Chain A
Amino acid sequence: MILLISNITKLTLCIGILICFFSCKKYLDEKTNKKLVVPSTLQDAQALLDNYKQLNLTYPSTGQESDDDHYLLDNNYNALSLVGQQVYTWDVNAQTYNDWSYLYGNVLYANLALETTENIKPDASNINSWKFTKGQALFFRAFSFFHIAEYFAIPYNATTASTELGIPLRMTSDVNEKTVRASLEETYRQITADLTAAASLLPETADPVSRPGKAAAFGALARVYLAMNNFVDAGLYADSCLLLHPVLIDYNKLDSTLPAPVNSFNEEVIFQCSTLQAFSIYSPIAKTDTLFYESYANTDLRKHIFFKRNPDGTHSFKGSYNGSYRYDIPFNGIATDEMYLIRAECSARAGAKDKALNDLNTLLQQRYQEGTFTPLTANNSEEALGLILKERRKELTGRNIRWFDLRRLNAEGKYSTLLTRKENGQIYNLPPNDPRYTFMVPPQVIEMSGIEQNVRQ
Chain B
Amino acid sequence: MKYLTILLAIIILINEPAYSQRLVKGFVTAADTQEPLEGAVISTPKNKVITVTNNKGEFTIMVYQDSDSLGISFTGFVTLQVAASTQPVLRIELQRKQGQLGEVTVISNGYQTLNRARTTGSFERIDSALYSREVSTDVLSRLDGITSGLYVAKTEENTGYYIRGISTLYAGTEPLIILDNFPYQGDINNINPNQVQSITVLKDAAAASIWGARSGNGVIVITTKKAQYNRTAHITVNSSVAWQKKPDLFYSRNFIPSKDFIDVEQYLFGQGFYDDALNDTYGWPLISPVVEILNRKRNGDIPETEANREIEALRGLDFRKDLSRYLYQNALQQQYALNLSGGTNMLAYIFDIGYNQNESVVAGNGNKRLTLHASTRFTPFKNLEFETETFYTAGKNTYNGISKIIPGQDKFNLYPYAQLADANGNALPVPKDYRMGYVDTAGSGLLADWLYRPLNEIKNADNTSVLNDILLKASLKYRINNGLDVSISGQYEKNYNPVRYYYNSNAYTFRNLYNLYSYNDGAAVTHAIPGGGILDKSLNVLSAYSLRAQAGYDKIFGNSHITALAGAEVQQSRASGQLNRYYGYDDDIIAFSPMDYINYYPLYGNFGYGQVPFHDDLSDVVNRYTSFYANASYSLKNRYTVTGSARKDASNLFGVTANQKGVPLWSAGASWKISEENFYHVKWLPSLSLRATYGYGGNVRNDLAAVPTITYTGGDPPTFLNSAFINNLSNPQLSWEKTGILNIGLDFTGSNGRLSGSVEYYLKKASNLIAPAPIDPTLGFDYMNVNTAHLSGKGIDLKINYLVLNRQLKWDVHLLFNYATNKVTKYLLTALAVPGSYAGYGNIITPIEGQDPYALISYRFGGLDSAGSPTGFAGDQKSTDYASLIYNATWDDLAVGGSTRPPIFGSLLQTFTYKHWQLSFNVSYKFKYWFRRPTISYYALFNNWTMNADFEKRWQQPGDENKTTVPSMIYPYDFFRDQFYQLSEATVEKGGIIRLQDINLNYSFPTNKLLRNASGTLQAYIYASNLPVLWRANKLGLDPDYLELPPSLNIAFGIRADF
Contacts and interface: CB of A to CB of B under 8 A. Distances in A.
Contact of B620 (A34, A38, A259): A34
Contacts of A5: 564
A33 B621 contact: yes
Contact of A208 (B707, B719, B722, B883): B719
Interface string A30-60: 1111111111000110011011111000000
B288 interface: no
Contacts of A122: none
A79 B716 contact: no
A29 B619 CA distance: 19
A101 B779 CA distance: 8
Given A12-B630, A208-B721, 9 more contacts: A27-B624, A29-B652, A38-B707, A39-B708, A39-B709, A81-B883, A97-B777, A104-B779, A168-B778
Contact of A22 (B609, B626, B774): B626
A32 B654 contact: yes
B695 to A, nearest CB: 21
Given A33-B703, A101-B782, A104-B780, A8 B651 contact: no
B1042 interface: no
A23 B719 contact: no
Given A52-B721, A311-B279, A36 B781 contact: no
Interface residues of A, number: 74
Nearest to B568: A19
B620 A35 contact: yes
A165 to B, nearest CB: 14
Interface centre among A108, A168, A325 (most CB of B within 10 A): A108
Contact of B564 (A8, A16, A50, A105): A8
B64 interface: no
A426 B729 CA distance: 46
B1008 to A, nearest CB: 51
Nearest to A111: B780
Interface residues of B, number: 83
B719 to A, nearest CB: 5
Given A31-B654, A323-B608, A174 B730 contact: yes
Interface of B: 275-276, 279, 282, 482, 484, 486, 547, 549-551, 553, 555, 557, 562, 564, 566-570, 600, 606-609, 619-624, 626, 628, 630, 650-655, 658, 661, 702-703, 705, 707-713, 716, 718-719, 721-727, 729-731, 774-782, 784, 832, 883-884, 887, 972, 975-976
Given A173-B708, A175-B729, A259-B282, A28 B608 contact: no
B711 A51 contact: no
24 contacts: A1-B557, A8-B484, A8-B566, A12-B551, A16-B568, A22-B570, A22-B626, A28-B650, A28-B658, A32-B652, A33-B711, A34-B621, A36-B654, A38-B655, A39-B710, A47-B724, A79-B975, A82-B976, A175-B779, A208-B719, A259-B608, A265-B718, A444-B774, A449-B778
A322 to B, nearest CB: 10
A409 to B, nearest CB: 30
Contacts of A79: 972, 975
Contact of B652 (A28, A259, A311): A28
A179 B975 CA distance: 39
A203 interface: no
A2 interface: no
Contacts of B832: 444
Contacts of A35: 619-620, 711-712
A324 interface: yes
A449 B716 CA distance: 35
Interface in A71-125: 75, 78-79, 81-82, 97, 100-101, 104-105, 107-109, 111-112
A442 interface: yes
Interface string A1-31: 1001101100110011011001101011111
B633 to A, nearest CB: 14
A51 B723 contact: yes
B620 A104 contact: no
B776 A449 contact: yes
Nearest to A109: B726
Contacts of A18: 549, 568
A129 interface: no
Contact of A448 (B707, B718, B776): B776
B566 A4 contact: no
A117 B867 CA distance: 66
Contacts of A324: 608
Contact of B549 (A19, A32, A78, A325): A19
A291 B486 CA distance: 92
Given A25-B658, A28-B651, A173-B729, A259 B551 contact: no
Contacts of B781: 105, 108
Contact of A38 (B566, B709, B718): B709
Contacts of A30: 622, 624, 652
A28 B711 contact: no
Given A35-B711, A104-B777, A44 B723 contact: no
Nearest to B484: A7
B551 A8 contact: yes
A444 B779 CA distance: 13
Given A78-B972, A325-B608, A54 B777 contact: no
Contacts of A27: 570, 624, 626, 652
Contacts of B606: 259
Contacts of A100: 777-778
B703 A108 contact: no
A105 B710 contact: no
Given A32-B702, A35-B712, A52-B716, A442 B777 contact: yes
Nearest to A326: B608
A259 B730 CA distance: 46
A355 interface: no
Contact of B883 (A8, A16, A82, A263): A82
A393 interface: no
Nearest to B560: A1
Contacts of A11: 484, 486, 551, 566
Given A36-B727, A52-B719, A311-B279, A19 B628 contact: yes
A36 B728 CA distance: 10
A75 B722 contact: no
Contacts of B711: 33, 35-37
A329 interface: no
Interface centre among A15, A48, A97 (most CB of B within 10 A): A15
A23 B620 CA distance: 22
A43 B609 CA distance: 31
A364 to B, nearest CB: 27
Nearest to B882: A82
Contacts of A16: 568, 628
A36 B600 CA distance: 31
A152 B649 CA distance: 49
Nearest to A22: B570
A29 B705 CA distance: 12
A24 B979 CA distance: 57
Contact of B721 (A19, A50, A174): A50
Contacts of A264: 718
Contact of A32 (B553, B622, B710): B622
A97 B834 CA distance: 13
A189 to B, nearest CB: 19
Nearest to A101: B777
A131 interface: no
A265 B710 CA distance: 27
A346 interface: no
Given A47-B710, A323-B608, A4 B553 contact: yes
Interface in A224-269: 258-260, 263-265
A324 B623 CA distance: 44
Contacts of B778: 100, 104, 168, 170, 179, 445, 449
B565 to A, nearest CB: 9
Contact of A112 (B557, B622, B726, B774): B726
A79 B939 CA distance: 10
